[in-house]
Structures are given as C-alpha cells and as structure tokens.
Amino acid sequence: TKTPITVTLTGAGGQIGYAALFRIAAGDMLGADQPVSLRLLEIPQGMRAAEGAALELTDCAFPLLAGVEISDAPEVAFDGANVAMLIGSRPRTAGMERGDLLEANGAIFGPQGRAIGARAADDVRVIVVGNPANTNALIAQQHAPEVPAERFTALTRLDHNRAVGLLAAEAGAGVAQIDGVTIWGNHSATQYPDLSHATVGGAPALEAVDPQWARGAYIERVAKRGAEIIEVRGGSSVASAANAAIEHVRDWMLGTGERRTSAAVVSHGEYGVPEGLISSFPVRSEGGAWRVVEGLAVDEFSRQRIDASVAELVSERDAVRQLGLI
Ligand code: NAI
C-alpha cells in the first residue's frame, strides 16, 4: 500500500473546489491505487461550505481517501502538501481597476506562497487556477524562494481542452485523433490557440479545417469560451475547469508520454518569452517535470499573436512589481 499524497485545495468551499474534490478522492487525479489526504483551505466565510463538502466526502466512503482536514490558516493547510491547487482568488468584477485586482490577489497569493515555502513537502507542485492565474502564480512563486521556480504553474489546460474540443467538432473527428494543439501566453482574452503544428488523425489540422477559420473565428471562440459559457449556462465554467486542473496535475505527476499539451510554466527564454514569466507553452511531462517542447517553427502570424499575449504578461508583472507585490 502506498503512502497517501497530501493535496491542498484553496477555495475548497467554492464551485470549482466542489467539482474537483470528489474526483480527486475517487482517484481520477493521482491514480486508482494512490491514497490521498485532502486539506481544504478557506477564508472564514467559506468554511461552512468546505465543512459541508467534507461531510459529503465521508458519505462517499471513498477507499482511497485517507483523511480530510479543513483550515483557514495557510500555514496549517499547506503543511506537508505534495500538491497545492490554488483555486480561491479575487477575480475581476465589473468596474474594478487593474491595480485593485492585483493588490487584492497579492494579499492572497503572497502569504500563500510564503506558507508553501515554509511548510509544504520538498516535492510540492503548485497549480494556480484562480485568476489572474499566471500573475497569481508568479506572486506565489516569488514568495517561496525555497521552492524551485519550476514547481509553480498556472492553468491553461482548460483553454487547451476547449481548443481541442472545438477543433474536433469542426473537423468531424474524435478528440483522440488530435494532437499538437498549443495555447500560448496568458490565460486571458489575449491567449493564442495555435493549430500550426496540430494534427488530426496524423495529418495537418490546417488541411482538415479552413485555415482562415483556424486563424480567425476559432481563436476568438476559444479565447472567449468562458464568456460563452456564462451567457449560455448562466454561470462560469466549473466542471470543465475542475477537470482541466485535475488533468494538469495528473499529467505533471504521471507523465504525458509523446502526447503534447499546454501549461503555463516558468520561461527559461524559450520562443523568445522573457525569462521568469509564467507563460503558456507547448509542453510534455516526463519524470514529474514539465518540459517545453522546443524547435517548433513560428511563422509571422503566430509570432505576433504570441508577442501580444506575452506583452500582457510583462505588463502584469511590471504592475505587481510597481505595487511592491513581488
Ligand atoms: P467561487 O467563488 O465559487 O469559489 C472561490 C472560493 O475561494 C470561495 O469559496 C472563497 O471563499 C474562496 N477563497 C477566496 N479567497 C480565498 C483565500 N484567500 N484562501 C482560500 N480560499 C479563498 O469561484 P470558482 O467558480 O470556484 O472559481 C475560482 C477561481 O477560478 C476564480 O478566480 C475563477 O476566475 C477561476 N477560474 C479559472 C479558470 C482557468 O482556466 N484558469 C477557469 C475558471 C475559473
């Protein structure tokens, strides 16, 4: 029998937390033979919802669930964490200035990063879901100098999965036939879903669909899919976001094989992305580490799109620097 892996979720009393907890406890994230201990971090207003979720976890009698603890103190919740899923944040609301948004998130992700650095297990892996995800991940990382920078990542897997799903529908293919889709840059409206190197059934995607569509309406649809879900469903993406976070962690820990996916990871200058930014790249995972897939040709159109999204990340980084948040 394996030692349980400790997974800490922040915002565990919220919607994505609720959609993620049961699948993690059922073994969807770490494997069907891997016990898991859950730690739920909430703010005082969210504690009752987290407690309720914990009662329901008991009622599922999951054989893999070794324990559930709930806390509103980051130092307690991240103690011994092997996986940290940072879901709770202060997303932008109507009329909110960027400075206020970043300030509010600095107050969340600075202390959480510090607690991860001080308390988490040596092998801790962090995925930030709460928006603005890339910059929140950077803030947390900068407060945890004890932890290798590469262990802080942000979620663009939902964008990736949306891009794959919409391509499959357009091409009339199954998602299993698709590989090589990339999300570049920021998890925001500037993101660039790129089909230049994608394949459908082994053949170039740009031959399976109209290239005009791929470089026009498609990009727009993927980038604005979150708004489309809100409009149709009357609420933001929840189950698909939880699913993406689970797949990100599963691939990170268990590997992707030859299959390619997308994740926001720390740049070492790949594809001209300034070093230190947490930006989405084409990635594979091997031996418990993300590797940026290098050597893909970038044409003029892609270059402009990547640069525009990366410029937004640079400006977010500069803004949090100016505010003294990193
Ligand atoms: P929600 O509002 O239902 O839940 C958020 C929870 O976080 C609440 O229970 C709240 O009490 C808690 N929370 C707030 N501050 C906290 C802190 N400092 N420590 C611990 N818990 C805290 O929101 P939902 O729908 O679960 O979404 C969570 C976040 O995920 C949002 O920021 C949203 O914008 C983001 N998101 C990101 C996506 C991505 O692809 N990267 C996709 C969808 C959502």
Domains with residue ranges and CATH for the chain = 5-154 (3.40.50.720), 157-315 (3.90.110.10)
Model confidence pLDDT, tens digit, residues 285-320 = 999 999 999 999 999 999 999 999 999 999 999 999
What is the rounded CA–CA span in Å between residue 250 and residue 99?
34
64 lines ligand 1 (CB under 6 A): no
Q: What is the distance in A from the centroid of ligand 1 to the CA of 40?
A: 13
* pLDDT band for position 80 (cuts 50, 70, 90): very high
- pLDDT exceeds 90 at position 94: no
For ligand 1, atom 14, name the residue with the nearest CA.
88
What pTM was computed for the model? Answer: 0.98
Q: Which two tokens stand for residue 128?
A: 């930030």
For ligand 1, atom 11, name the residue with the nearest CA.
46
14 lines ligand 1 (CB under 6 A): yes
Q: What is the distance in A from the centroid of ligand 1 to the CA of 83?
A: 17
> Within 10 Å of residue 322's Cβ, how many Cβ atoms?
11
Q: Which residues are catalytic?
A: 187
58-91 as b/e: b if 16+ CB within 10 A: eeeebebbeebebbeebeebbbebbbbbbbbbbe
132 lines ligand 1 (CB under 6 A): no
Task: Flag whether 131 is marked binding.
Answer: yes
What is the rounded CA–CA span in Å between residue 202 and residue 241?
28
Which amino acid appears at position 297 of this protein? A
